[in-house]
Structure 1
């Protein structure tokens, strides 16, 4: 594959992946704002209690097999059918497991409502499972345009149904309606957009081969989901339901930007990195480029959200969510290294070293456990500050192996990010001054965003930052398409 062709494919893939993720996140953000204005923190807290059970079940259902299909070069139709059949069987098993576990989950949290909520929300497992292979096929083809269409349809349908439910007084059930209707719309649209139709064939040999690679991703995924949601269990068990609602909203707002960029980079670059895994020079070129562009985008964005957290929360969600402000400010800094960390880990999967991916992930377990022991008794704010510390240390750990294998580790990555930190600091000083001297929240938000972004881009221009030119060139090339 020639460099020009590779760059064209990667650019097109990133463009449509970005359209997908940002359109979906903006849509979900608008819907979440509307729902938050109608519902109360306790409603979000109840759903937050169930997040870990749904997430762990979904991880088992996928079992890293979709990633295994993308990474494999000699995949066949029997491989796809094998994964499809496994997804169906696994989703049925875990739904039954959740159905009969519902009373115990309800008893643990002392929330009688959870019995029916678990049993209905669990249907999303089956709805998502029937379209995993279709989405994988589109990813392999780098057809992110079709994936974008499916996801946008899901957000529109799910959001509409959820908001209608909230307006009509369904409370927490409007969030369940939103999830199920969105999953159904996504699955149906993926079946229409994908040219692949399953055959009910299952090959033990194919499954064993794919699971050999995917099992490490499964274990790592289970570990990640467990750690990502274990705080929900602790907050739901030992703190008022509203506290969990504030925590999940802070996390959701922070992930709107960081999580979106992570998804764009991972989805678009994984098949490209996999295609050039045998060419070290190309691999490092793409990989380092994505690190720099991610830092260029995410560091100023998260800093701006932290500085303008007060007008964002009060204007969008109303005064009843004022407790969210300091939590959001800390949470965005806990996510500031997330895209760069994800790229470092994604590289290991792309070169077929899911075993190293797992080892790196597990090596961070003592750090996370220590943070939990220290912060959980201290409250929600302390927990999020703990996230900030563990996130920074995790970046250093995640960058170790890529540095050892390809010579582009944490020190070189941070050195590349230094101009971005300088430009962000200049932006932060200006935005802080605007917020200090202007009391009107709407003006704070408008002027802070406008002049903050302008100041950042101007300083980047003064520093002759290559990423600014790269983003501008990509924008111009996409305009011509």
Structure 2
């Protein structure tokens, strides 16, 4: 809130002063429901969280669309974000049946601070790093380039980061219940790893293959360059669930010190790659993010191997069948898209070909991951 004038001066955009101050309210709103979300997650009660999130999404979506159509411009995005958080916060306060009392426990603070403070610092570092690309692109390149990158990143983030968030919330309480049984922990951990890859890998590779027709259909021809960036970013973000499960294991084992150490190393490597690729242009920056993601994967899996003997090579061996299915599916989808004329037909045919190919090849090869996924769905029912 206080730095808003400096932010506006940095980008030479005066509207950022009131805009930044309004959006900064989201920090306050988020902080009011941290405990409620934690309690519901520990109970593995995602139904209540889903009710609040879905209601907030519908209400804020209506508000955002109304503001956009009535000429509010960029304020429609800010309004959508604040209303979403406000509605979600209010509903979680009502539905969680927990409210803070007017008392404070110093013993709880001392017990949790050593673990939680390192995770908090890691979170701050990660948040800063996630915005470094936007800051650099906004300052070094044209405003239009920032728009292309932001839109491409949002498309890639939707399946990858959202699913990663679900995985982190689900796997953490489950793994915590068996944290002292390394044999069982190892087995469940590898199962989670394979299932997440089995869902996310084909989604991201398929998205990369249909990026061009999808962007043209949804955003029109002037956003075509965003499709090029999207097809590259997908190969970086497809590894996010694997990162998330590896980092979850460190938390399950109470090693927030290693969590922080890894975060610092990874961000230093990421910034170094960013500095090297900026002079080469926006496409090079996106390609650099792929190398950064793979290097960070090696770093994350190093300590996983130390803690439960499931290191980089074991994880890659588990993921290799799904990676092969996904890449071969991507080649089929890409060929289909390039054969058929018309973006709408390309998009429909590409998606259909991808689903059909992936279903057939996993059936023919009797994929263990497919069997486990179907068994998991049947068990949930």
TM-score, length basis structure 2: 0.97
Secondary structure at 1:364's aligned position in 2? helix
Match 2:14 to one of 107, 112, 132? 112
Q: Which residue of 2 is the match for residue 200 of structure 1?
A: 102
1:101, 1:422 → 2: CA distance? 48
Match 1:176 to one of 73, 78, 83? 78
Q: Is 1:140 paired with 2:42?
A: yes
4+ aligned runs moved over 4 Å, structure 1 = none
| Cα deviation code 1:298-350 (max 9, x no counterpart) | 11111111110011101111223112010100110111211111111110001
Q: Is 1:478 paired with 2:380?
A: yes
Q: Which residue of 1 is the match for residue 157 of structure 2?
A: 255
2:367, 2:215 → 1: CA distance? 33
Contact 1:106 1:115 in 2 (8 A): yes
1:209, 1:161 → 2: CA distance? 43
Paired residues in the alignment total 381
Contact 2:56 2:83 in 1 (8 A): yes
Q: Which residue of 1 is the match for residue 313 of structure 2?
A: 411
2:16, 2:169 → 1: CA distance? 34
| Cα deviation code 1:94-113 (max 9, x no counterpart) | xxxx2x22111111111100
Match 1:297 to one of 189, 199, 203? 199
Match 1:167 to one of 47, 69, 80? 69
Note the 1:15-414 alignment, pairs <5 A: 98=1, 100-414=2-316
| Cα deviation code 1:180-233 (max 9, x no counterpart) | 100110011001111112112223332232221111101111111111111111
Higher mean C-alpha displacement, 134-143 vs 233-242: 233-242
1:173, 1:453 → 2: CA distance? 39
1:135, 1:275 → 2: CA distance? 18
Structure 2: gaps spanning 5 or more residues: none
Q: Which residue of 2 is the match for residue 436 of structure 1?
A: 338
| Cα deviation code 1:264-314 (max 9, x no counterpart) | 111011011112111112211111101111111111111111110011101
1:458, 1:260 → 2: CA distance? 27
1:402, 1:440 → 2: CA distance? 47
| Cα deviation code 1:131-184 (max 9, x no counterpart) | 221111111111111011111111111111111100111110000000110011
1:429, 1:137 → 2: CA distance? 44
1:240, 1:456 → 2: CA distance? 39
1:163, 1:144 → 2: CA distance? 28
Shift of 1:465: 1.2
2:34, 2:122 → 1: CA distance? 19
1:206, 1:405 → 2: CA distance? 27
Q: Identify the structure with bigger relative contact order (alpha carbons < 8 Å, sequence gap 6+).
A: 1
TM-score, length basis structure 1: 0.77
Contact 1:291 1:343 in 2 (8 A): yes
Q: CA RMSD in A?
A: 1.3
2:292, 2:249 → 1: CA distance? 21
Secondary structure at 2:260's aligned position in 1? helix
Contact 1:419 1:460 in 2 (8 A): no
Shift of 1:412: 1.0
Q: Which residue of 1 is the match for residue 353 of structure 2?
A: 451
2:107, 2:380 → 1: CA distance? 43
